[in-house]
Amino acid sequence: MGMSLGETLRRPLYRIYEERLLRSLDRSRLPQHVGVIHDGHRRFARAAGLPDYAASYRVGMDKVVEFLSWCRDLEVPAVTCWLLSQENLSRPPGELEPYFEVLEGLFARLPDEPGAAGMRVRVVGSVELLPARLRESAVRLEERAGQGERRLTVALAYAGRQEIVDAVRDLLGELAGRGVAAAEMAQEVDAAAIGAHLYTADLPDPDLVIRTSGESRLSGFLLWQAAYAEYSFADVYWPAFRRVDFLRALRDFTRRERRFGR
C-alpha cells in the first residue's frame, strides 16, 4: 500500500515533531509496563479500501513488531499486547481463520525481529479455546523467545473476568493442596493472594494502557492489574498507529500526577 503525496510531504514534519517529543520526555518517569488494546483492524480495512480483512491484519501485526522496537528504544521493560479477546471467538469463521493465520505468521517471525530480540514471551488467556495449530504456534513462540530482562505478554482468547475466575480457582486449589479446611479458606483469600495467581503475577502492574480506534473503554483488559493505570485513547486505528502517537501518549503519561486511587 503506497503512500499518498500528502503523506510523503508530511513525513519530514512528523520526524521533526517526533524529535521534539523525544527531547521533552522525562525518561525517569516513563512507564515500566505498557498494555495495548490493538483495536480497529476491520474498520481500517474498510477506510483504506483494502481487499479483505486479512490485508489489514497483516498491516496490524507488522505494527506490533514496529511497536516493540519503539518500546526497546525507550527501554520499556514490559509490554502486554491484547491480540485476541475471548469475545472475538464468536465472530464468523470467515473472519477468524485469516486472523489465526496472520497470528501464526507473527509468532513464527517474532523471535527473529530486532525489536523483540532477547524478550521473554508468555502467552496468556483461555488458549484451550483456540485451534490446535495456533496453540502450537504460541508454544513454539515461548520456546524460541529469549531470556532477557524485557518481557512480552501476548493475551489470546483473553477476558479480564475469566482471568480473575482462573486466579481464584488456582488459589483455592493451592489451599486445598496444602490441606487448608474449606471452612478456613475464606481467611486466606485476600487481594495479595488473588494477585499472586493472576496471569501476570510476575510482572509489575501496567502503568499505561493504550487503546486505539477512538474507543474509550477497556473491555475488561487487565481488569485487576490496571485498576490504577493511566489510560490513553488514540483516535487512529491500530494499523495506522504511528510512533508519534506513542510518543504523545508517553509525554502525557510523564506529565500526569498518579494518585493510585488516593
- Given a contact cutoff of 8 angstroms between Cβ atoms, the answer to whether 206 and 226 are in contact is yes
All three cell numbers of 22, joined, read 523525544
39 carries an active-site annotation: yes
The secondary structure of the chain, three-state, reads: CCCCHHHHHHHHHHHHHHHHHHHHCCHHHCCCEEEEECCCHHHHHHHHCCCCHHHHHHHHHHHHHHHHHHHHHCCCCEEEEECCECHHHHCCHHHHHHHHHHHHHHHHHHHHCHHHCCCEEEEECCHHHCCHHHHHHHHHHHHHCCCCCCEEEEECCECHHHHHHHHHHHHHHHHHHCCCCHHHHHHHCCHHHHHCCCCCCCCCCCCEEEECCCCCCCCCCCCCHHHHCEEEECCCCHHHCCHHHHHHHHHHHHHCCCCCCC
CA dist 35 and 81 (Å) reads 6
All three cell numbers of 160, joined, read 479480564
Catalytic residue among 62, 88, 170, 245: 88
Known catalytic residues are: 39, 88
